[in-house]
């Protein structure tokens, strides 16, 4: 029998809607030094924080609009920990099921003494575990501890996180490791192969691919050994380097070469992930859908989009901390939609999808829901696509089964390794 939430989703899909998502940038204050981000503490701009009451009004409106997922992002949201907990509680009371937030880990770093560390992190663990927060991400930039800590600008991060992950598990919260893909992800070795465009030799892309396969492999092993059960990959965002159509309001982007990849490099990146992700699906819960990787690779390789555009500005929205206004996403900053609680959802053009960037928060769920929307609304077009793109649909079916085995990545449950065993360390035969 179908659960009420399945029925609600089914009716949404008939109306060309998918479960809504609102990303609220609470603040752009940050205390880290990440070269891959325009909000690093040394970046010189006027910092802001949104009023708690305004965010609460937006949450209430989002619940009224049927939004199912809310993320509180930054900057570093944990700089305003009390407000963050209050907002998580407010979202839970409003009936939002998928509540997410994350950290650069500064509150979890190992400090002067064991006692000081224990009392500090205990407070954080207990306060978050008491809420209805569903997913909590901790950023990790590299499989090499020194590289990660240098990028973030904090000592003791890896030691502290290793110690705190089991404490979170004991309290019933399973944090995910969040990797923003960058050239240091496998440690200095991965960066060492970099050659400037124009100076690349014939074997460069092959080396790049192999080194990133090794880097992702190292990364997954590293976070698993740290105790994480769940991992997410943020595809590189280097808005402002050739993608002139975008005007970013969410400045978690950078032109630094550490996150700036050419089209050909992106093809190899997505290819490397397609190789490595399946090898870890039985050991870790990995959000990254293979269907997305395949579609993005194809988009960069052949300049062809599969027709499952991003639902940013349709079902997904972003609220910017600077002006408190709503945007289709963090990267279409010239489309100010005003206050979220004044947004008239009936005026949204539900067919106006986009493929101008790779922001996984919006693109991954768009690829996963795309075939459902198409099947219900234009089944002939889906049927044609099934024949033309069998690989995409095989991967998509595999993703749906995997997402189910991961219970939609509930950060409130331990993984069911019995179910994940069905995805044993092997590449799906379809990728051979």
**Contact present, 76 and 29 (Cβ < 8 Å):** yes
61 vs 363, beta carbon nearer ligand SF4: 363
Instruction: Tell me which residue of 241, 239, 246, 238 sits closest to 334, measured CA to CA.
Output: 246
Residue 40 near ligand SF4 by CB under 6 A: yes
Residue 269 has what DSSP assignment? Answer: H
Question: How many other C-beta atoms are found inside a 10 Å radius of the C-beta of residue 221?
Answer: 14
**Structure tokens given for 104:** 């650069």
Return the DSSP state at 27.
B
Interface positions, 340-369, toward ligand SF4 (CB under 6 A): 354-357, 359, 362-363
Residue from 18, 23, 26, 30 in contact with ligand SF4 (CB under 6 A): 30
d(CA 80, CA 85): 9
- For 170, the 3-state DSSP assignment is helix
**Interaction between residue 322 and ligand SF4 (CB under 6 A):** no
Pick between residue 369 and residue 423 the one whose CB is nearest to ligand SF4: 369
Q: Which residues, 6+ apart, have CB-to-CB distance to 215 below 8 Å?
A: 143, 185, 186, 187, 189, 190, 272
Which of 46, 98, 94, 95 is closest to 72 using CA atoms? 98
What 8-state DSSP symbol labels residue 310? Answer: B
Q: Is 109 in the site for ligand SF4 (CB under 6 A)?
A: no
**Which position's Cβ is nearest ligand SF4?**
312
- Residue number, 55 or 213, with CB nearest to ligand SF4: 55
By CB under 6 A, residue 312 contacts ligand SF4: yes
Choose one: 278-286, 308-316, 339-347, 374-382; the region binding ligand SF4 (CB under 6 A).
308-316
- 288-307 residues near ligand SF4, rule: CB under 6 A: none
Closer of 250 and 402 to ligand SF4 (Cβ)? 250
Query: Judged by CB under 6 A, which stretch of 36-44, 62-70, 190-198, 295-303 contacts ligand SF4?
Result: 36-44
Binding of ligand SF4 at residue 23 (CB under 6 A)? no
Looking only at Cα atoms, what is the longest distance across the chain? 65
Binders of ligand SF4: how many residues, by CB under 6 A? 26
Cα 166 → chain centroid? 23
CB closer to ligand SF4 out of 174 and 331: 331
Contact between residue 141 and residue 152 where contact means Cβ atoms under 8 Å apart: yes
Contact string (CB under 6 A) for ligand SF4, positions 239-258, x = contact: -------x-----x------
Q: Which pair of structure tokens corresponds to residue 382?
A: 């889906």
Q: What does the binding site for ligand SF4 look like in residue numbers (CB under 6 A)?
A: 30, 32, 34, 37, 39-40, 74-76, 104, 246, 252, 310, 312-313, 328-329, 331-332, 354-357, 359, 362-363
């Amino acid at each position: 029998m179908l659960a009420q939430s399945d029925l609600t989703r089914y009716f949404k899909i008939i109306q060309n809607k998918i479960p809504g998502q609102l990303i609220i940038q609470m603040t752009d204050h940050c205390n880290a030094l990440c070269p891959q981000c325009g909000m690093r503490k040394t970046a010189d701009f006027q910092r802001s924080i949104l009023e708690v009451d305004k965010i609460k009004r937006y949450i209430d409106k989002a619940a009224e609009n049927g939004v199912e997922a809310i993320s509180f992002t930054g900057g570093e949201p944990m700089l305003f920990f009390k407000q963050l907990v209050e907002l998580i509680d407010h979202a839970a009371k409003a009936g939002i099921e998928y509540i997410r937030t994350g950290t650069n880990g500064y509150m979890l770093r190992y400090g002067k003494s064991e006692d000081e560390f224990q009392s500090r992190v205990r407070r954080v663990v207990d306060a978050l575990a008491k809420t209805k927060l569903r997913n909590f991400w901790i950023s990790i930039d590299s499989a090499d501890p020194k590289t990660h800590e240098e990028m973030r600008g904090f000592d003791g991060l890896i030691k502290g996180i290793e110690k705190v992950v089991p404490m979170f598990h004991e309290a019933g919260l399973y944090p995910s490791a969040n990797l923003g893909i960058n050239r240091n992800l496998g440690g200095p070795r991965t960066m060492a192969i970099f050659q400037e465009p124009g100076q690349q030799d014939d074997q460069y892309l092959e080396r790049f691919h192999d080194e990133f396969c090794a880097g992702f492999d190292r990364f997954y092993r590293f976070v698993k050994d740290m105790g994480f059960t769940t991992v997410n990959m943020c595809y590189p965002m280097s808005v402002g380097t050739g993608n002139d159509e975008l005007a970013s309001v969410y400045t978690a982007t950078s032109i630094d070469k550490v996150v700036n990849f050419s089209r050909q490099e992106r093809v190899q990146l997505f290819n490397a992930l397609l190789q490595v992700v399946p090898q870890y699906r039985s050991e870790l819960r990995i959000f990254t859908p293979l269907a997305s990787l395949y579609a993005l690779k194809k988009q960069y390789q052949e300049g062809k989009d599969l027709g499952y555009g991003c639902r940013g500005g349709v079902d997904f929205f972003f609220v910017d901390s600077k002006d408190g206004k709503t945007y289709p996403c963090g990267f279409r900053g010239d489309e100010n939609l005003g206050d979220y609680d004044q947004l008239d959802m009936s005026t949204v053009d539900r067919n106006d999808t986009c493929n101008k960037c790779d922001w996984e928060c919006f693109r991954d769920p768009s690829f996963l829901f795309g075939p459902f929307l198409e099947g219900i609304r234009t089944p002939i077009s889906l049927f044609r696509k099934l024949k033309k793109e069998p690989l995409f649909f095989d991967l998509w079916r595999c993703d749906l089964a995997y997402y189910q085995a991961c219970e939609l990545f509930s950060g409130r449950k331990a993984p069911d390794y019995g179910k994940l065993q069905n995805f044993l360390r092997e590449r799906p035969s379809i990728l051979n």
